[in-house]
Chain A
Amino acid sequence: MNVTGATLFAIGTVLYGVSAYLYLMGWLTRDQFTRRWAPRVLVGAVSLYAGSMGVRWAVFGFPFLTLREVLSVYAWVLALLYLTLEWRFGYTIIGVLVTPVGSVIILVASLLRAAQAPLLPLLQSPWLMAHTGLFFAAYAAFTLAFAAALAYLLQDRSLRRKQLAWRLPPLPEMDRLSRWLVTVGFLLMGSALISGSAWAERAWGTPWVWQPKQVLSLVTLGIYGAYFFVRHVSHWPVRKASWIVVIGFISVLTTFIGADILAPSGLHSFLLR
């Protein structure tokens, strides 16, 4: 693997971890300096990682196929989407919940083997970028929606137990954020599935082959569909509906990583490459 790319990746990983630490400490101690620097360090991590990807792209072509790349791209898109969110709305609690997850994932990724061989000829297509890119964005949106739902549930619990957690944002704001992110994730994942079938139609002559990953994506989409139903049609209380977002996230994880463990073969698998 290219040395520049590896160095950028390693420094990016360290910065990601540092930013997670800063988010956590800034939230606990309210130290202004720490709170100001947490997003800046994360921006640094994101840019370094973008650089390392660029280098790898130049060397290998399309770079995210082994588990190492896939996990780190996920952590990268997550950080990018989160930063947009913070810049736009400023809920750092989401950062506190999400950056540790992202940094653990990127740490795991950095311990795995880097890509050794170029892509299969079948996969060398512009469709790959659209298809996988949409999925990563959808996963990141669902992760953030999960964090917002979690913040909601924690706030609700502390209000009920009368142990006031002043550092959590108001309930309706977390609810609105979570609902918005689920909508975004749902649309992205829907487009990802459609782009996948369109590509399969061209490459294999059939739009759908019932691979485990495809089925699980449908299940995930169904769970989030159920969330919309209970929110807008059955008018469930938000607390109950938030649990569906939590279940949806477990389903996302299963789709993303579990599918490879359940059925470690086929074009959707990246574990064995």
Chain B
Amino acid sequence: MQQIVLVGLNHKVAPVEVREKLAFGSKDLEQALTRFSSENGACGAYGPEGAILSTCNRLEVYTLASCLDDGEAAVCRLLEDCHGERSQAFRPYLYRFADADAVEHLFSVAAGLDSMVLGEHQILGQVTEAMETALRENAAGKVISALFRGAIETGKRARTETGISQGTTSISHIAVELARKIFGDLGSCHVLLVGAGEMAELAAQTLVENGAESLSILNRTRERAEELAKQFDARAWGWNRLNEALIWSDIVITSTAAPHAIIRPDVVRQVNAQRRHRPLFLIDIAVPRDVDPCVDQLEGVYLYDIDDLEAVVEDSLAGRRREVPKVEAIVRQAQEEFMAWYRSLGVVPTIVDIRKQAHTVREAELERALRRLKGVSDHDQEIIQIMTERIVNKLLHHPTICLKKRANCADGYRYAEVARDLFGVDGKEE
């Protein structure tokens, strides 16, 4: 029986110079996958089935081969052919797994256990895409597509049943989450960006993408403000109108190069009176800080500086790390279920052959008996026929169940061989 083979590398074992050489563009990927698809029933050039998972952090090829070494050789050939690299350049970095280990690896990957940011969501989409591409190119057959479906299922289960994807790990999404906690719906929130900077701009943009009503920009230089306003389709404020802008906004992201605080408690107190205690959410990304930390004490003001946000990131990751054992248990269970199914595939041809043989014998004997019996009514004929069927089915019932069950051991194929021998079914396993 063929083995499921995985050969690949990821960010933990291979430096980016190696990973980028082996990464597949979408065109190359399709071309590589066509070499797996078997035309006219013939085996593909690299193996009978295959799928390629290619992301910026990993490249993994899943295929079927008679043994692990054959599988690895086939994958190395594929990578050499597709990228024109000599296999010596990347071979030392590759990891290779077979059967249960390969299955467990893919399931862990889909669950986010193997990702750079533990439990991230993107990988699940990438696994799904890898399967869809492989199906489209006819590379994934019965086994590989079942394997990927199992992985996607496991990834979803891990995320709903455990906290592996809980919490937020990017500063801009934390800003969104916090804003949701404070304002509920972002639809009526006005975002104000004070100063400029990559992280602040990204946070502002993410807030708008997540439904914030408007974005306005306040900058020390009017030109810069207008330039940014044009870029983000926002409104620009002059530097001297900070108070007015604060009254009008709900979420304020500050990121200026000012050497001292520009938003002081007296300013906020003054503004607050006119805001009627509508909550004010201040995100201070600047170092040194733009918002006086005392502002935090004011009613209705929620102030987060860069350290607070980093602490939230670390908190989320720590929470996710605590969930790892639960996810591993889910992965192991799913792996065992999948392998049980996969090993039972190995005995299916044997069972089919035995049944076919038994029914051939039954039909021949039935016909002979009926020929020799005289005066048997149609009704009685039917009873005899049903009786023969039942005898065969009952006799074969236990061996069938037993074979399926035994198939789930490491040397399950031996049972299939013994069964073939005992029942005198011709030929070897297909």
Contact = CB atoms under 8 A, between A and B. Distances in A.
Contact of A30 (B161, B177, B178, B308): B161
Interface string B293-336: 00010011010100010011001000000000000000000000
Interface string B182-198: 11110000000000000
Interface stretch (A155-163, A188-196, A217-225): A155-163
Give the 7 A-B CB pairs with smallest separation, nearest first.
Answer: A172-B184, A170-B184, A237-B277, A237-B299, A162-B308, A173-B184, A235-B276
Contacts of B304: 162
A59 interface: no
A30 B163 CA distance: 8
B393 interface: no
A171 B163 contact: no
B161 A31 contact: yes
Interface string B156-187: 00001111001100000000011011111100
B183 A159 contact: no
B315 A159 contact: no
A244 to B, nearest CB: 15
Contacts of B308: 162
Contacts of B311: 162
19 contacts: A30-B163, A32-B160, A32-B161, A159-B178, A159-B181, A162-B311, A164-B167, A164-B177, A164-B315, A166-B177, A170-B180, A170-B181, A170-B182, A170-B184, A171-B184, A171-B279, A172-B185, A235-B277, A237-B300
Given A32-B161, A170-B183, A236-B277, 12 more contacts: A30-B160, A31-B161, A159-B181, A159-B182, A164-B167, A164-B177, A170-B181, A171-B182, A171-B183, A172-B183, A172-B185, A237-B300
A168 B311 CA distance: 19
A8 B182 CA distance: 44
B239 to A, nearest CB: 30
Contacts of A236: 277
B302 A160 contact: yes
A162 B177 CA distance: 13
Nearest to A30: B163
B161 A171 contact: no
B184 A164 contact: no
A239 interface: yes
Contacts of B167: 164, 166
A50 B312 CA distance: 47
Nearest to A160: B302
A8 to B, nearest CB: 35
Given A31-B161, A162-B308, A239 B299 contact: yes
A30 B167 CA distance: 13
Contacts of B163: 30
A30 B311 CA distance: 23
Contacts of B183: 170-172
Interface in B132-164: 160-163
Interface in A86-103: none
A32 B160 CA distance: 7
Contacts of A237: 277, 299-300
A257 to B, nearest CB: 34
A172 B185 CA distance: 9
Nearest to B180: A170
A166 B320 CA distance: 13
Contacts of A240: 299
A236 B299 CA distance: 10
A67 to B, nearest CB: 41
A32 to B, nearest CB: 6
Contacts of B166: 30, 166
A239 to B, nearest CB: 7
Interface in A6-44: 30-32
Contacts of A32: 160-161
Query: Which of B166, B185, B279, B312 has most chain A Cβ within 10 Å?
Result: B279
Nearest to B298: A237
Contacts of B279: 171
B141 to A, nearest CB: 33
A172 to B, nearest CB: 4
B181 A171 contact: yes
Nearest to B319: A166
Contacts of A30: 160-163, 166
Nearest to B301: A160
A237 B181 CA distance: 16
Interface in A219-270: 235-240
Query: Which of B166, B182, B296 has most chain A Cβ within 10 Å?
Result: B182
